[in-house]
Structure 1
Amino acid sequence: MALGSGLSVNEMGGRARTAARGLAVLPGGVRNAALHAMPAALERVRGELQAANAADVGDARAAGLAGPLLTRLEITDKVFAYMKARLEEVSTLPDPVGRVLEGHIRPNGLRVQRVSVPIGVIGMIYESRPNVTTDAASVCLKSGNAVILRGGSESLRTNVVLADAMIGTAATHGLPEGSVQIIRTPDREAVTQLLHLEDDVDVIIPRGGKGLISAVARESRIPVIKHYEGICHLYLAEDAPSEMAVSLSINSKCQRVEVCNALETVLVDAGALGRLLDPVVEGFSAEGVEVRGCARACALMPSLVPATEEDWGTEYLAPVISLKVVDGLDAAVHHINTYGSGHTDGIVTQRMSLADAFVAGVDSASVLVNASTRLSGGGDYGLGAVVGISTDKLHARGPVGPTALTSYKWVAYGDGHIRD
């Protein structure tokens, strides 16, 4: 299928594979110089970008897109500044390629090392957010990978302007042709073709709603790094300081309700119910959040909406939260491991032994102690931009930054060593 670039998806795959081989041996300083120049490149196309984004937003609004989905599509001055800052930040991060991860000398004198290397070619499939275009391209280049971008049809014009600015800058600074490519058609067949390029693409990273990620995981012949949902919990232990418990509950839920690390269920220890239930519920109510409580919570506060079994496994992405009373740490951990999505979960407690037991018991990519679930992002962890969050256990887990997009090779140095 011909694309706006004149290349088929298959041709883009071959081009990316060739570029990846060149990137693998390119000094980190060359990649960093290209990344450092990209904020200025975005500034030069700002007028074109604003026009493209206005057209995308107008079409999306006419098609009935509204609320958070429409908000994610818009490149405001704040979003534009964020995009440039992320590019600059990524350029200053330590080089994730060529690190000696471990090493030792064998009894026979053979020197063995495990060294980080790029994965190769990344296929990035995403919806709505144009900033993913710059985040994904920068993280892939930082880690020495080539990338094929396929954004949502609703942001196609915007994504192409952003990608072209980065492609031009990469070429000017000596990066191999094909290091960054973008699929320039809204045709969904292009996605299917990308997912079938197992000879040229090493990993697929989808970023968007559960429907998109499920479809990609089903169709792909290539390994996928993904997370389906963010069903995040905060356990308020018996000794949780009241002010901190309320503050972290409200921030975890209300700072941005539509994101994947927003709080969806708060677990209140039965031993703290008398002092925490009222202020926590009142705090949510003051923010316009509907609270759906378990039977024990509703018995104490009849104004709560009764929670159903379905609520415990729901990612609301809206001003709604479920609340459950639990009898101690084990019950909290059991509930989280039963209904959670393995994304981000937290505890509020003054006892480090309790916190340690919670961290060990909860099977999630990010576990926070006395901190908002909203702090489980790449920027908060010092990773710079990320291409997404992974709840998988193989290869990458949690925020997927430059280091997560590397693999490793074993290197052995001898002096004429042979096997006896």
Structure 2
Amino acid sequence: MSTRGRFRGLAVDPAVDAFLGIRYAEPPFGPRRFAAPVRAEHSGDCREFGPIPPQSAELPGAPVWRPGDEDVLTLNVWAPRHGDGHPVLLYLHGGAYTFGSSAQPDYDGTALARAGLVVVTCNYRLGFEGFGHVEGHPANRGLLDQRAAFDWVRDEIAAFGGDPDNVTVAGQSAGAGSALFLAADAPVRRVIAHSVPGRCHTEDFARRVAEWIDPTTPESAVASADALIAAQECGPLGYDPVVFGPVADRLPVPPPHVDALFCHTTSEYRLFERVGALAPVRTDDEYARFGRAHGLPTHVLDGYRALFTSVADAYVELMGDNVFSEPTTRLAEAHGRAHLARFTRAPGWHTADVPFSFGNLTGADFLIGGPPGPADHELSARMLRAWADFCRTGDPGWTGVRHWGPEVDLSARRALWRGVDVEGPVDHPVTGTGVLPPRPRR
């Protein structure tokens, strides 16, 4: 056991202590449900992850949500055992703004703390609880939770040896989008954003989604949201039914004074194809229908079809570039001095880069496409060191574009997107098959 002031944690490494399940805000239920977070004070044992926010996902190695769990706004700290003034990394997990938690094994901060960082991960409200429209209550409650976690870090992290004036906020996928909103709102020094999803939601779209949700209890909200997602068969949501997310005009570009590091993988949507979360497209007619549903220009559809042998490959790669790769690259370019990397190590799909950056390859066989070998551990060490150096100095060690894995020429794919909008605010009508009747406006 290790103690830092009023927090008692775990000695997880000869040089690293972990403090888990620290409450940073009061449970957001009962009279506080759908309200802005309220700061909480915590002391005592911090040796177990806290409960996770309401969701139906069951992820390997991670806890599941159980109805009745309420103390869900907690964070975790991994800190070097000795010294003060360490750079701080506040990491926001991904999961389509709907699932996931800071207790997933991928986000264990031990290796990064061993490299000299104080690492913080946090839970925040997800799905309807965090991003659903509720009349008379603040929007984007999940983002408000993240800001509350950041404020806790600024106030408390010196007790763990961290420098409150040198905080890097980071995330992947939905966590990357969240990190950009936090970097635009809070006094962060740096931001790391991997695989940024380009989409935001309009207020009208959020209102229409809310008509389908039974908000009576967290359980009913989760169940009705799952049913809504399962009902999507038409339009863009029929291919990738993500119905919750930030209500905003656009993703913010990090302010010029904030150092920025962006990264994307080269075959983002291969993961969703692999797990059956992406509606299949196998014929040219289906490919054309997909293009019309997303409003994609003919030259983009034809260009991808010419670059890849099969319709299915063209579709999967185009989806990944539209949702993740192009938005990530454009945000880096808009910042003006951001560092950009591409994760190309096979299978190069969404989330494969996360275990490499955290140094957590053991047990990540599925995410990284198989058991890690010596070359993978060497690559992970380089990526982890780049993160640590960036958090410390703002320089990850390269200029231009860095390839984590074999160098891949994406110029032909990128050229097809010139002058074309990618993703942006989502304002598609919520469609279904009659499984759920539209709920009356409340």
Fold match (TM-score > 0.5)? no
> Which has the larger helix fraction?
1
What range describes the TM-score normalised by the shorter chain of this pair?
A: 0.3 to 0.5
- TM-score, normalisation: structure 2: 0.33
Q: Which has more radius of gyration?
A: 1
- TM-score, normalisation: structure 1: 0.34
Highest RCO, 1 vs 2 (Cα 8 Å, sep ≥ 6): 1
